[in-house]
Every structure is written in structure tokens, then in C-alpha cells.
Amino acid sequence: MANKILSITSLCLLMLVLIVSIKMPISFAGKNTAATLPTADKLKLSKIIKTSCNKCHSMTSFGIGKLPVEEDPDEEDEEEEDGETAIAPPDLSTLSKYVLTHAKGPKEYLKLYLKKKIPKGTQKHSYKFKGDQKELLFLIDSLIKISTSSKVLKK
């Protein structure tokens, strides 16, 4: 009897380990991205987010958190002027309804916004996107694809 209990316990533990290990890639891909981006594009997007965006933004559907704030005295200060209160940077897992329904269209709006040419509401993006045009378009297209595949739009 004790052997059966030990065997059942071991089997349950093994099943738990398998469930957790199976869920890890799913949580990396996220509910919005599982069927929308090929693996190579997920990795490319993850790299861009980690090198360009996660200073301020997280992307929980990719398991990317916001970096801890570090003060760098040599870095050019691009924060908001005129004492405006900054908008909290959103998670990039889903673009907002404001972006997706913008009059210019989401792609054109994001191109201009990320280059600090137009504001969101009254504020421009905190940092000008420093990647090349190809990376910018890939980032925008990927974020739009992920967001429009989701049935729920954020406000």
C-alpha cells in the first residue's frame, strides 16, 4: 500500500513538472502571440523590445519586464519638459484602442509617435526610437499584428 501511495505521489509530481514545463513556452508566446507570429519573428521582436523598449515598457506576453531604473549622469535627458506629468508607459503586449483606432491609422501614428513627431494626447514619446527604419517597421507591424489578433482592446 505504501508503495502505491509513493508511486501515485511520484506520478503526480512528474505530471506537475510536465505541466509547468509545457506552460513556460506558452507564457513566453503569450495569449495574444501564440498563433500570430512565427518563432523567428518572436525572437526578433523580443530582441528589439529588450534593447530598445524595456527601459520603460514591459511586454508580459513575452516574459519581458521593465528594467530597473538606473541613473546615468552621462545620458541625455529626454524626459518631458514644462513640468508635465508623464503617462505611465504601457505594457506592449496589446496596443491601446487609442493607437489602434487613431485617425492616421495605427502604423502611421506609431511611426510618427516613436520618432517623437506627434504626441499621444499632450505628450510625445519619452525617447526617440534609435533603430533603423526596417526595425521600426518590423516592431510596429508585429505589435499591430499581436494586438489585432486579440479580441479585447485596451482603453
Structural domain of residue 107, as residue ranges? 24-67+89-149
Number of domains within the chain: 1
Q: Judge if pTM exceeds 0.85.
A: no
Phi, psi of 13 (to 5 degrees): -65, -45
For 67-132, where are the alpha helices, taking DSSP H only? 97-100, 106-114
Which pLDDT tens digit goes with each residue over 75-120?
555 444 555 566 789 999 999 999 999 999 999 999 999 999 999 9
Q: Is residue 107 part of a domain?
A: yes
Q: Is residue 12 part of a domain?
A: no
